[in-house]
Amino acid sequence: MAEPLRIALAGLGTVGAGVIRLLDQNRELLTARAGRPLDVVAVSARDRSKDRGVDLSRFAWEDDMTAMAARGDVDVVVELVGGSDGPALTLARNAIRAGKGLVTANKAMIAHHGMELAEAAEGANVALRFEAAVAGGIPVVKGLREGASANAIEQIYGILNGTCNYILSTMEDSGADFGETLQAAQELGYAEADPTFDIEGIDAAHKLAILAGIAFGARIDFASVDCAGVSRVRAQDIAQADALGFVIRLIGRADIDTSTGEARLFQRVQPCLVDKEHPLAAVDGPTNAVVAEGNYVGRLLFQGAGAGDGPTASAVVADLIDIARGDAGTPFSVPAATMVPMAKADTGHRMGHNYIRFTVTDRPGVLAEITAAMRDAGVSIESLIQQGKPEEGGEVLVAMVTHEGPESAVTEALRLLDGSDSLTAEPLVMPILEA
C-alpha cells in the first residue's frame, strides 16, 4: 500500500474534533477510497488541556500552529481556525510556501485572499481545497468544478446561511418576531453569541463570492457583493408573505450581466419572497441549498446540512481523499491566472416584482403620499395592504407588491420618500423569486 497522507490539523473545535472522529471511525473505508491511509500526525489549538472527546495523545502538539507548515513529517495542513487574516492566513501562506497541500473550511479567508492563495498553490504545484468553506457538507464546490464543468453556468443562487434559515422558518411556524426567535436560536446553538456575520448576510456573502468565482471564472470580488440581512424582517412580513403564497428566505444570487455589451458581475445577498412552488421554499431549519442553472444541464439543486461537526468534517475529509488520490486540480476550476476581473454590474435595469414594506405614522394622507411617490417614479402597484388599526395609534405597517418593473423605479420612489415625516423607519424591499 502507498505511504500514508500525513496531516497536520490546526483548530480542535467541533469541526476539528469531528474530523478526527471521522478519520478514526471510517478508517478502513477511507483508506480503500483514498488508496492510502489518512493519518493525523500533529495538531494545534489554543487550549491543550481541554477535553474534546477524542484521544490527542497520539499526535504531536504544536503550541504555535503556524509552525506546523515547517514540519518535515507533514504533507497536508488542515486549517479550521477561521478568520480572514491573522494566524489562519499566516499558516495558509506558510503551508503553501513549504510545499504542503492546504485544506480549509475558512470561507472568510478564501473570499478575501482566495486569489492570492490559489495563485501561490498553483505556482508551488500543491493542492488548495475548500469544499467545507461553502455550504457545510454539501458538495457544491465539487459539483460546480467537476459535475457541471461541461456547462456555462447562467446563474447561481440559494440559501447559504443556516442560522438565518432557521430563524426565518421558525418565525413562520411560531409567529414570533425576529428578536425572540434569534434568542431561541442562540440558546439552541444555531446562532453565535455575536450573530452579526450571520444575520446581516456577511457569512452568506463570503460563500456567494466564492461560488461566483467558480461558476463564472471571475476573480473573487467580495467587496462588490451587495449585502442585506434579515434583522429587519418582522413577523407581519412573514404572515403577509404567507398570505400571498410566498415564504421569506435569505437568498444569495449571482450572474453575469451583459446588457451593456461588457460582462459585469452581479452579486447580492438579501431577504426575498420565494414562491411556495419553488424548490427553495421547502428548505427549512438550519439547512443550505444552492441552485445552479447550466446552459445544457438545466437547473441543479444542491441541498443538505450547511454546518455542524459531522457535515463540515465530511467535506474536509472528502478534500483529503482527493489530495491522497492526486486528484486536487485547480482550486477554482480554471487556472487562477486566467480568471478575469469583472466590474460590478449596474442593477437599475434589472426587472422584477418586489414586496415593499413601509413603517409609517398613523395619520391621514400617509397612504396617498406613498402611492404618489410610486406613481411619480413609475412603479405600478399590484396590491397594497395596510396592517394595523387606526384606533391603535402609533405606527402602522403598509406593504405592497409591485408589478414587474425596473429596479431603478423602486430606487427613485424611495428617494422621493426619503426624509418624509410620515416614515418612521427605512422601507424594507424584498424581491420576489418566482417558481
Active-site residue (options: 50, 207, 276, 344) = 207
Rounded Cα–Cα distance for residues 87 and 92 (Å) = 8
C-alpha cell at 39: 493519518
Which residues does residue 430 pair with via DSSP β-bridges, in sequence order?
355
> How many Cβ atoms are within 10 Å of 65's Cβ, its own excluded?
24
Nearest alpha-carbon partner for 359 in 332, 390, 388, 323: 388
Please state the φ and ψ torsions of residue 329, each to the nearest 5 degrees. Answer: 70, -175
Q: What's the Cα-to-Cα distance from 236 to each of 178, 355, 420, rounded to whole Å?
A: 10, 13, 23
Instruction: Give the torsion sign (CA, 258, 262, 267, 268).
Output: negative
Q: Is residue 156 within 8 Å of 211, Cβ to Cβ?
A: yes
Strand residue runs (E) in 105-245: 128-129, 153-159, 226-227
Nearest alpha-carbon partner for 61 in 76, 46, 82, 72: 46
Q: Is residue 38 within 8 Å of 320, Cβ to Cβ?
A: yes
Q: Is residue 204 within 8 Å of 226, Cβ to Cβ?
A: no
Nearest alpha-carbon partner for 93 in 109, 107, 71, 111: 109
Query: Residue 9: helix, strand or coil by DSSP?
Result: strand
Q: What's the Cα-to-Cα distance from 365 to each of 336, 369, 372, rounded to whole Å?
A: 57, 6, 10
Is 207 designated active site?
A: yes
- Catalytic residues, which ones? 207
